[in-house]
Amino acid sequence: MIRHMTGAGVTVLMLVAALSHPGSAAAHGGADMEQDPCMRLAGESMVHFSAHQPQYETQNQYCTEIPQEGETFLVVDLVDPSLRNEPIGMRVIRGNAKNEEEGEIVADVHPIFHPDGVLRSEVRLNEGLYTVTIESEKRDLLRRPQYLLRVHMIDYQKLVLSIVGPLVGLLFFGWLVYKLLRSQWVRGLWTAAPRS
């Protein structure tokens, strides 16, 4: 009887621990550079892209999933100091464009030097897909890192995955309660209870 209750208690604790573990956050804030989805290899160097919408959230920065439409600050950090000595630019195209001819250019920051290591632009993004391309006048320096932005769009795959975990946990918890109620120990307590 005690062994049965201890096993059930351990199972419930494992379930609570699994459900309380935080999943992926919407804004990546303090991610490690190696695991940061906003880092891209630009030739032999690294660049980091982030988008900010301070009118909605002052602290959050986004990479590919932009939660709201509206004015958006785009920032490219030239992680490698050698990139500060090269003219670097950025182009934002509406749609999932493989080249510039495929979509409407929404913003175009011509390649210039960025001694502080930061390329900045402000653009109004409406709902839909956008392609951000980082480029250099020296085409061989950058292999043109691209970021596909999803602005104010529902990612159904992430939505389903966020629902499946708690649903499986709820089903498991229901199964555990069912097994506990059907156990001999609970039935013994029920029949042994004094009736008035």
In a domain, 109, yes or no: yes
Residue 126 in any domain: the answer is yes
* Inside any domain, residue 171: no
For 27-65, the DSSP string reads S-TT--GGG-TTEEEETTEEEEEEEE-TTT-SS--BSSE
Distance (Å, whole) CA 55 – CA 131: 23
Q: Which domain holds residue 45?
A: 33-156
What CATH number should be reported for the domain holding residue 151?
2.60.40.1930
Please state, in angstroms and as integers, the Cα–Cα distance from residue 180 to each residue in 9, 91, 125, following that order. 11, 61, 54
State how many domains the chain has: 1
pLDDT of residue 54: 92
Asked if residue 12 is part of any domain, the answer here is no
| pTM (two decimals) | 0.62
Residue 68: inside a domain: yes
54-84 pLDDT, tens per residue?
999 888 889 888 989 999 999 999 998 888 8
**One-letter amino acid for residue 71 of the chain:** E
Give domain status of residue 183, yes or no: no
